[in-house]
Amino acid sequence: MGFAAAKAAVVAALHEGNFEHEAREARAEKNLLAVGDVDASDVAELVLKTRSDDYRESPHHWDQSVVVHTFRPTVREERWYIKVYFLETDGDDRKAMFISVHRAGN
């Protein structure tokens, strides 16, 4: 997918409300979007401020065929960590599945 396409797809999913959250034990610390400490527009702003040097793709540890997109923007001198992948749905739609949204120190 690449940086520009992933960035656009994540922002679109956030604006459209087309996203979910992967279940995990440390949800309160590791996914601030899931617990409501940040909202979709906050995360979209963070993703939009990500530079290509602060992005990477890697296989999901549970399913190597799934590409995970990691964004690590620095905004207002604070580093963030956003990890997301896409689920295929009917037609051309893709649903974003967030694994992590938190400050990089957490």
Residue 72, beta-bridge partner list: none
CA 51 to chain centroid, in Å, comes to 14
Q: Are 19 and 95 in contact (CB under 8 A)?
A: yes
User: Which CATH architecture group holds 3-103?
Assistant: 2-Layer Sandwich (3.30)
Q: What is the pLDDT of residues 58-98, one digit of tens each?
A: 888 777 788 999 999 999 899 999 999 998 766 566 788 99
Domain boundaries, the chain: 3-103
CA–CA gap between residue 10 and residue 3 (Å, rounded): 11
CB atoms under 10 Å from CB of 14, counted, come to 24
Q: What is the pLDDT of residues 50-64, one digit of tens each?
A: 999 999 998 887 777
Q: Looking up tokens 């396409």, which residue turns up?
A: 5
